[in-house]
Amino acid sequence: MHAGCKRAMAVAVLAFAALAGAEEPKVELKGGPESDRVRGHCSACHSVDYIQMNSPFMKRATWEAEVRKMIKAMGAPIPESEVGPLVDYLTKYYGVE
């Protein structure tokens, strides 16, 4: 292999490695201390990006159904006492009227 090709290949490999190792920016949730509760429960199974991606169309009833689906269908270990506060937060900061 030609020396120029070897150098170009080495640069490409290093560039790819740098991109692959780069961390994605941390998604920040809206709100204050309540966001810690949501992050703690939701990010145990998935990225909190899903909250922001779904928020343009989620009403309170839909957020509650989603939280309950995560518990029943997906096995999320969220106690019943936490459902209300989670839904309150999601509706307040990411719900629609």
Q: Is the pLDDT higher at 95 or at 13?
A: 95
Q: Which residues contact 52 (CB under 8 A, 6 or more apart)?
A: 27, 94
- Quick one: pLDDT at residue 54? 78
% of the chain with per-residue pLDDT over 70:
73
User: Which CATH superfamily includes the segment(s) 34-94?
Assistant: Cytochrome c-like domain (1.10.760.10)
Domains in the chain: boundaries = 34-94
Place of tokens 């009403």: 59
Give pLDDT tens digits for 55-69. 788 999 999 999 999
Q: Is the pLDDT higher at 18 or at 48?
A: 48
Give pLDDT tens digits for 23-57. 656 778 998 778 999 999 999 889 888 888 877 88
Extract the tokens encoding 19.
């991109």
* Alpha helices, DSSP H, located in 1-97: 3-21, 34-42, 49-54, 60-72, 80-94
